[in-house]
Structure 1
Amino acid sequence: MTSTFHGIELGKRGLAAQQTALSTTGHNIANANTTGYTRQRAEMIATKPVSIPGMQIQLGTGVEVDKLVRLREDYLDVQLRGENKSLGYWEAKSDTLTKVEELLNEPSDDGLAYTMDEFWKGWEELSKNPDSAAARAVVSQKGVAVTETLRHISESLNQIQDDLKLVIKTKTDSVNSLAAQIGNLNDQIGRLVPNEYQPNDLYDQRDVLIDQLSKLVDVKVSPPNKDTGVVDISVGGVLLVSGKTANTLTVDTSSGVVDPANIKIGNTQVALNSGELLGRIESFGILGGGVKSTIPTIQEKMNNLAMTFVNAVNTVHEKGMNLDNINGTSTNKVPFFIGTNMNDIAVNPDILKSPSLIAAAKEEASGQSSTGNGKNAQDIANIKFTALGFPGINSTADDYYRNIIGQLGIDSQEAQRMQSNSEVIIQQVENRRQSVSGVSLDEEMANMIKFQQAYNASARMVTVVDQCLDKIINGMGRVGL
């Protein structure tokens, strides 16, 4: 026969189990809007039954909460982190390409194409009025406009690259900060799990940090250790987090481009495969065959455009005759432009001081010319339609620039398309993850009512058993009194 107080124990266990379930439900409701929170569920099991002597039966002893389960699917975490790295990479590429598009601002009345077109028109007008001081002044000022536009583009590209250097440092610091926080959480979890605690909220915090890290670099997360709950995180096959130890990622940008050999975790070279950090590095400039560096590539093409254009104009200009040559006061011929690259090109200061040095005339067979001769100005104007020797291609300056703009547009559109695709996939995965791990207030309210009713029933059970015991203790053996 069971103990007289068996019913009290049953009720007490029921009260404790339902109270734990109610507390878990309340915890879920309180964190319904907490980023990264995983809803929990109290898993209840029947406690060990007792055998009744003389009877071939076992009597139940009630219920207890076995564990608090995090309702989460590891597969969805892996899938989301895999797409997160792609989103970070294409966001970084798209951001840089968009900034360059805004800088070049084509087509518009403020862009380089319009400024160069006005430059050619200036020479065309000068060819018609070679002895006009006003026409000469217009040509020199149109030249100034072209050189200022090219220098502005160069300075702005350099500024974008300098900004990228700062962003790379910031993102690298973020990687190291997240790694340190994950290592700290590993330490806390590793001290609780062996003592049979369930640090579910610490698991959630660690998962949020890993999700953030996965957007910056391509991470691989090991399965949690069964004994300690600790995870290791590697990037490119090199451990970034090993247990509670966080290693340091370094990226050397001091040379103006990044050598892959100088991307290291600790002292070990690491190959970044994707993620926002790689997108920023490739935009800034990275060495290696087949790797397309965004800013250095555009800088190189724009510099080729500028110097090929300058050399073509100077070559024709120095073959012509200026007013001083025609009047016999000087035999000197000067270049129209000066400078060695896009950063320092300018209209010759001597021409700005004295527009008469503009060589609008063409030398005749006799070695002489006249102030009304505008053939050389026309030859310079015709450079617009002349194929020039750009590296790897013969093309007019206008077509070469259009090719730069066209390729930039294609690359930008591709980056935006890939970013959009990644966002759609991530949203789909996140929706599926929320359907498993997210808190539904309607569901939690239903659970709260269910556990409340069970709690009330257990309390009623205690009351009934108390009344029975009161009858036995205070009501029995009192006959005749």
Structure 2
Amino acid sequence: MSSLSSLLSIGRSALSTSQAALQVTGNNIANVDTEGYSKQTLITKDGSYVSGSAGQLGSGVVAQEVVRSHDQFIEAQYLQRGTARDRFQTLYAGLSSMQNLVNESNSKGVNASLSNLFGDWGDLTGNTDSAATRQTMLDDTNTLLGLYRSMSSSIEQLRSQADQAIAADVETVNQLAKDIADLNKQINSTQVDGQNIPNGLYDARDKKIRELSALVDVNVIDNGRGNLTVNTNAGQTIVDGMVSYEFKYEQGKTVRQLSSDSITAGSDVQAYYEGSDTSEYTLRVKTSGGLGGVGGATFEASLDGGKTWLTNDDGTVATFQADGDTGKVKVGDLDVWFGSTTDPTDATGTLEEGDTFTLVPKKALYWYTTAGTPVNVTPQQYGDGTDNPSRLTGGSLTGTFLFRDEELGSYQKTLDAMAKSLVWEVNRIHSQGAGLTPFTEVQGSYSVNDSTAALSSAGAGLAFGDRLEAGSFMMYVYDADGKLATDAATGEPIQAAIQVDTGDLAHDSLDDIVASINTAFSPTYLTASVVNGRLSIASATGSSFRFGDDSSGALAALGVNTLLTGSTAGDVAVNSVVASDTNKVCVGHVGADGLLASGDNTTAKALAALEDKDISFYVTGQAPVSQTLGEYYSGLVGKIGSDTANASYQASYQSTLAAQLDAAQLSASGVNLDEELTNMIKFQHSYQAAAKLISTADQLMETVLGLKN
């Protein structure tokens, strides 16, 4: 029923609603520069109606709720583009640092040092006795090897920095997950549908999700209120309502997936390894059998989860089998063997075709389920460069992992391959040469783990054991006058070819070589022994010795009469024997007659020619490459430049797309001051009109009351 009190009530509701609208507008204006703030709007509806003589009459306006402007569809697209942007920006930042390490624009790079070194050997071909030229060669060699060590150390520093960044980011991810779960809880306890929406909590949650997406890829499923789920694109749950899940950055775990036959038999076999690598190793049993030796199981190996398999030099898939003596086999950079789940030395089990083992010889990222089961989510790329979709694929955490494992790992392996081939090729030539003075004693620079194991086996552990061939090396003994010694009874020269045969059990170990040397020369002329796993030879009083042709490579593999030591870019150095005595620099070569001709430059010529010689470089998981040392290093520099340019392009491209989506979201949720000022004027006039309505109702009430008087 129409009444003056109804008119006052309508004015009051209009006044209150206009005041609320002004407050919302004022809050928008105050937060115009607040990051993550979404524009808010007061939703109103007309009040209830009553029937009067004139029909249905309204009772005023009701301020129902305050809602925020936010486009979930655009936000979902932004999260995908933003996480890709942060991945490539992180990757580009790391690659830029790496690119600075291989800057060849000046005259003091690796290729320049290589040219200087081989130039020095060229100088020695014409001046074989010059101590100054020999010292210059050693100095330039140290300069080159110093560059290798410096680059390797810098890569290790970058890897260490990446590890620290990963650890910090994982802590942040876990904290953000807890924060989002807590916000979900607060939203559920605060929100009253249709009446009270905690817009500030929603904004805070969206901001946290954006921060999370900057670290890992996310997929948001919003079921309303606090019932929000955040997954990775691969499906690992980070937040489920009020529950958060944890990531851990820890040492990699070995996981086995047994075939049905092994499961039926209750197999207890587990894979083990020694060494470290930036790649993961997947081992798949090809033929069933014991854990090693004749009739033992064979298996294949993959570095990309089984997408591609390691191959032999001819392109066929490589098969591996544990050695019968040591139970181990060299697979890439790891020594692998099998035992039981409780005892790594228990070799009594059997492997069945299809049994698969995944080795993770590095610190990796694991997602833990509610049951506490770890799932490996460390970013991984297949051999064709695509991402493993079951792992993390976005965010700065992914970028850091890819930089550490895929990029730095690849560059380090390439640099190591170059250093290893340089050492082998130089030592292979130098070990067969002769210096100005013979040896009275010598000790190899490379040691074996087991002197009874075949030199080419994993049990011996020689860095260059895989490059040995069946053959022999020559040794010559000289008297006190430096002349080739002869047997007093027969007049025959004291020399011998020491057999090395990797396929002959009587001549394949270091103990066998020692026995062969002693049989040929001990005790009258010299004695061989094993000292700390190294070949040691000492001559008798008044005798000395030299080395000659070596068709087996044993001298180079054992580090005897060599110029260089080490086998990686981080440990290459000049042999201390040569560094302390330039007379031990091998320029000449002992002839078949056991004599060294004055001025002979055979070894120096061979080493100088190495600059233009195509040699082989081996990187696990890649086909062998045959190039010169300079070409191979230029290829590394070119790849780093190409990878950096590609990361830069992707970072720029993804940044542009993310910026466009962010702008689209801002157009929907951002505060527009012109719009808010217009609204403020509108609501001000509404407030004034409501006040006028109340004033008019008051005047009418006074008129009615005046009628009584």
Q: What TM-score comes out, normalization by structure 1 length?
A: 0.91
Partners of 1:464 and 1:367 in 2: CA distance: 129
How far does the alpha carbon of each residue in 1:400-442 deviate from its partner, in whole angstroms, 9 at most, with x for none?
Answer: 1111111222222111111111000001111111111111111
1:61-76 map, 5 Å: 61-76=59-74
How far does the alpha carbon of each residue in 1:151-187 deviate from its partner, in whole angstroms, 9 at most, with x for none?
Answer: 1112221222122111111111111011000011001
Instruction: Compare relative contact order (CA 8 Å, sep 6+) and give the higher one, 1 or 2.
Output: 1
Q: Tell me if structure 1 keeps the 8 A contact 2:419–2:567.
A: no
Match of 1:6 in 2: 6
Match of 2:127 in 1: 129
Partners of 2:597 and 2:692 in 1: CA distance: 119
Partners of 1:268 and 1:138 in 2: CA distance: 57
Query: Aligned letter for 1:140?
Result: L
3-state DSSP class of the match of 2:147? helix
Match of 1:207 in 2: 206
After TM superposition, give the deviation of residue 243 of structure 1 in Å: 1.3
How far does the alpha carbon of each residue in 1:340-368 deviate from its partner, in whole angstroms, 9 at most, with x for none?
Answer: 33222210112221112111234456654
Match of 1:472 in 2: 704
3-state DSSP class of the match of 1:252? strand
Q: Tell me if structure 2 keeps the 8 A contact 1:189–1:230.
A: no
Match of 1:404 in 2: 636
Query: Aligned letter for 2:580?
Result: K
Structure 1: unaligned runs, 5 residues or longer: 286-292
3-state DSSP class of the match of 2:35? coil
Q: Tell me if structure 2 keeps the 8 A contact 1:238–1:265.
A: no
Partners of 1:69 and 1:167 in 2: CA distance: 39
Partners of 1:232 and 1:365 in 2: CA distance: 80
Q: Tell me if structure 2 keeps the 8 A contact 1:323–1:371.
A: no
Match of 2:367 in 1: 264
3-state DSSP class of the match of 2:708? coil
Give the direction of change, closer, same or farther, for the CA distance of 1:133–1:161 in structure 2 (3 Å limit).
Answer: same
Match of 1:299 in 2: 412
Partners of 2:108 and 2:214 in 1: CA distance: 37
Q: Tell me if structure 2 keeps the 8 A contact 1:306–1:341.
A: yes
246-255 or 198-207: bigger deviation: 246-255
How far does the alpha carbon of each residue in 1:109-156 deviate from its partner, in whole angstroms, 9 at most, with x for none?
Answer: 333222222212222222232222221111001111111111111222
3-state DSSP class of the match of 2:45? strand
RMSD of Structure 2 on Structure 1 (CA) = 2.2
Deviant stretches of 4+, over 3 Å: 253-262, 325-333, 362-375
Matched, 1:310 2:427: no
Structure 2: unaligned runs, 5 residues or longer: 253-275, 281-359, 378-389, 439-477, 484-543, 548-560, 619-623
3-state DSSP class of the match of 1:323? coil
Query: Aligned letter for 1:476?
Result: L
Match of 1:436 in 2: 668
How far does the alpha carbon of each residue in 1:200-245 deviate from its partner, in whole angstroms, 9 at most, with x for none?
Answer: 01100000111111121121111233xx443111222122111111
Q: Tell me if structure 1 keeps the 8 A contact 2:92–2:647.
A: yes
Partners of 1:256 and 1:188 in 2: CA distance: 45
Partners of 1:230 and 1:300 in 2: CA distance: 48
Match of 1:288 in 2: none
Match of 1:174 in 2: 172
Q: Tell me if structure 2 keeps the 8 A contact 1:187–1:243.
A: yes
Q: Tell me if structure 1 keeps the 8 A contact 2:183–2:226.
A: no
Match of 1:374 in 2: 601
Q: Tell me if structure 1 keeps the 8 A contact 2:128–2:587.
A: yes
3-state DSSP class of the match of 1:5? helix
Match of 1:31 in 2: 31
Q: Tell me if structure 1 keeps the 8 A contact 2:423–2:567.
A: no
After TM superposition, give the deviation of residue 91 of structure 1 in Å: 2.1
Match of 2:586 in 1: 359
Partners of 2:150 and 2:650 in 1: CA distance: 31
Query: Aligned letter for 1:424?
Result: T
3-state DSSP class of the match of 2:671? coil
How far does the alpha carbon of each residue in 1:363-414 deviate from its partner, in whole angstroms, 9 at most, with x for none?
Answer: 4566544554434323211101001121211111111111111122222211
Match of 2:298 in 1: none
Matched, 1:281 2:384: no
157-166 or 33-42: bigger deviation: 157-166
Larger proportion of helix: 1
1:33-432 map, 5 Å: 33-52=33-52, 55=53, 57-194=55-192, 196-225=195-224, 228-235=225-232, 236-253=234-251, 257=278, 259=360, 263-266=366-369, 267-269=373-375, 270=377, 271-275=390-394, 276-285=396-405, 293-325=406-438, 328=482, 331-332=545-546, 334-363=561-590, 367-370=594-597, 372-391=599-618, 392-432=624-664
Give the fraction of aligned pairs with identical amino acids, expressed as a percent: 28
312-321 or 386-395: bigger deviation: 312-321
After TM superposition, give the deviation of residue 443 of structure 1 in Å: 1.3
Matched, 1:20 2:252: no
Partners of 2:617 and 2:168 in 1: CA distance: 38
Partners of 2:227 and 2:106 in 1: CA distance: 57
Query: Aligned letter for 2:13?
Result: R
3-state DSSP class of the match of 2:694? helix
After TM superposition, give the deviation of residue 106 of structure 1 in Å: 2.8
After TM superposition, give the deviation of residue 261 of structure 1 in Å: 8.7
Partners of 2:674 and 2:602 in 1: CA distance: 85
Q: Tell me if structure 2 keeps the 8 A contact 1:84–1:214.
A: yes
Q: Tell me if structure 2 keeps the 8 A contact 1:89–1:277.
A: yes
After TM superposition, give the deviation of residue 3 of structure 1 in Å: 2.1
Q: Tell me if structure 2 keeps the 8 A contact 1:40–1:69.
A: yes
How far does the alpha carbon of each residue in 1:267-317 deviate from its partner, in whole angstroms, 9 at most, with x for none?
Answer: 2525324122222223323xxxxxxx2222211111110010111111112
Partners of 1:294 and 1:455 in 2: CA distance: 65
Partners of 2:101 and 2:152 in 1: CA distance: 10
After TM superposition, give the deviation of residue 319 of structure 1 in Å: 2.5
3-state DSSP class of the match of 1:69? strand
Number of residue pairs matched by the alignment? 466
Partners of 2:365 and 2:216 in 1: CA distance: 16
Q: Tell me if structure 2 keeps the 8 A contact 1:249–1:265.
A: yes
After TM superposition, give the deviation of residue 256 of structure 1 in Å: 6.0
Q: Tell me if structure 1 keeps the 8 A contact 2:68–2:199.
A: yes
3-state DSSP class of the match of 1:360? coil
After TM superposition, give the deviation of residue 470 of structure 1 in Å: 2.0
Partners of 2:368 and 2:679 in 1: CA distance: 48
Q: What TM-score comes out, normalization by structure 2 length?
A: 0.63
After TM superposition, give the deviation of residue 56 of structure 1 in Å: 5.2
Larger proportion of strand: 2
Give the direction of change, closer, same or farther, for the CA distance of 1:37–1:371 in structure 2 (3 Å limit).
Answer: farther
After TM superposition, give the deviation of residue 77 of structure 1 in Å: 0.4
